[in-house]
Structure 1
Amino acid sequence: MQEDTKKMQMTRQTLAGQLKITDREITERKTLFGITEQCIETLGDCRRFIHPKIDEIVQKFYERQTSIPEVELLIGDAETLMRLSQAMRGYLLELFEGYYDADYVNKRLRIGKVHKNIGVSPKLYISAIAQLQATLAPYIAAIPEDPSKNLDQKKRLEAVQNIFLFDIHLVFDTYIASMLNEVHISKQQVENYASSLESEVAKRTEELEQMSRQDTLTGLANHHAFHEHLRRCLAEAQRNARAISLIYFDIDRFKEINDSKGHKHGDKILGMVGKLTLSQIRTNDIACRYGGDEFCIILPATTIDEAQIFARRMISHAPQFIDSGVRFSIGIAQTGPKEFFDLDSFVGEADKAMYNAKERGHTNNKCNLSLAPLSAENAATSNNAASHIRLAATDLEP
């Protein structure tokens, strides 16, 4: 039972995780093997010359390999040779890709595990790498020197040598690990304790981070987190050429409520506004307490008309959460899908719309809605921009 549990735990970890190869460890190993920024740049420069010749290189390599009887026996058939050739093609492309991170390390460790499992001895593996280097050498040598980048044949061959050595040592990590006996029980207990401690630290760190991004009174994202979310959502909207809307609202005469009924009552109202907002937002929407009695709701992939429908629906549910005497002033701004406001301008437009609604609300004591420009393009280019910025207040009372 204990052995089955151990196997199950192993299948939930990457090979790098099993061997305790962390990001820090990867960085140290890259330094040891000379995988510097210059080396990475050199390998990346080689890629554009190697890529067009990749099939030719793979073919020559396996012609050499299949001339060795022991290797030919291991390969066995044409279908396996074809699969190996495809895998080698991917291997070589990754070799010059320029990304030697945890994913790269895991792939190299997996190569070692597969070779060990199918019975490829270390001598055959190393000889294959030597043949691969020999096959690549003429193609590397044929790359023109580039004085502007201080790249010559010697530096390119040295960079290729370094990355092959880096790969070999990772492959042999799995060879060695597969031959080790079970770790002594006392060492395992220490590792288990360290792992649990690390998990606890990570959990506490995550909780602290969550607390630093959340408004404790309302349960919504706080002011700092709002800007992070909005920056990300704006970038995504621009990338996908989609509209995004922002609802900016506050509680009318909130200071008077605090002064007349006390801060505890005011805090209770703020908490209920948080619950109301959370009950109405969709999965991708983000609700935030902007500060004081001001709130924002980010509505990705949403037009101003759709945002207005959302606002009406939210207000229609308000009596379930909040005293009937509470009123809101709501401003809505849209940007995109063609032209976009910057973050501050976008918030500013929604804020202006909210204050316009508040001014109108003073005359009719209603819950009011005001709309900002439909896009940055309209605000910047329309001769009637002012008429787009403020529309008539709309009664949103349920």
Structure 2
Amino acid sequence: MPIRVLIVVAIAQIVGWGSVSLTSIVGTRIAADLGVDIAAVFAGNSVHYGVMGLCAPFLARAFERYGARRVMIAGSLVACPGFALLAVAQGYGAYLVGWVILGAAGSATLTTAPYILLTEIVGRSAGRAIGAMMLMTGLSSSVFWPTTAFLSDFFGWRGTCGVYAVAMWLVCVPLYLYGVPRRATAPPARPSQDAIPAEPPPRTGPLALIAAGTALIAFVGFGLSAVLVELLIVEGLSRSEAIGYGSALGVIQIGARAMDFLGGGRWDGLTTGLFAALAVLAALLLLAVGDGGPVAAGAFILLYGLGSGAMAVARATIPLVFFDRATYARAASRIALPLNLASALSPPALAAVLTRFGGDAVLVLAAGFMVAATVALLVLARRRPRAQLTVRA
């Protein structure tokens, strides 16, 4: 994997994810300006994820025919008018349309697209490259939250959206245009890495299990991220303690990604996913039966951070166990639909459960989802291609 390409993709992803996270910083200003409540503002992010998922299956053919580089350039071009519409929106309807455009652009540029790009370059061994990219992109909020705060103080939230609109054309498009090979290809892979001659590539069964497992995992991950501070408060911590523990989560998650990367490919995405799912499940049960004190909360944050950080890598690399570079784009695009829909629906769903039924109900629901995801991963492990088992034996 050329380091230059990896850095280029990581920078573009940091810009892409960091810019769409602006509501975390300027949400109250947007709400006051548009005359809506804060929940309505964050609904824009849910629309963003939902549209990303709905568009993903339709982009599969484009990824296969034109390659990820061209699709990502087109997506960056589309993102510019999305931010521009947010900048000039005078009503809530126009605001949501802006997020629809950004969702369509995100489907072509964020998450699934770079995974496809790196798989085009490296093949089945792209897992380590994806892990390295995710290690770097984990810094997006650390970079862009203060950037958004700085820009909004000078230009307001509308001016900040304008800056990000320009950045899509002047930063992301040139990065993909000049920093990525015209058609990402790699030298022919060794049979043990990129081909499974003993059996045909898996189709509906594994694909459905991967989609179900990753969607369940995403529901828990994105939902808990949205309600984590309030959940810890309900479980017995003070607000300052809850914010402190929540702030440590990102560092632990990045540490988990680093551990997976430094593992050097000793385990594949499916193995990582199983261990990560068990860690998350243990963390949820520990917090549920704990006394709500700092020790139980600290153990929860540590286990959950390690598990959820590794799980983020596993979501991207599990398909590499079953699909080679020729079929990965179509598989990843299909998986993206339920994954993004789960990501969009989980924050309001878990917030509603927390408000109506309390923190223990959230933990039990999340644990149930993780049990179901673990079962799906265990079934997938039994269906691992024979050539993969031979290689790792």
Q: Same fold (TM over 0.5)?
A: no
Higher strand share: 1
| TM-score w.r.t. length of structure 1 | 0.20
| TM-score w.r.t. length of structure 2 | 0.20
Higher helix share: 2
User: Which structure is larger by alpha-carbon Rg, 1 or 2?
Assistant: 1
Higher relative contact order, structure no. (Cα contacts within 8 Å, ≥ 6 residues apart): 2
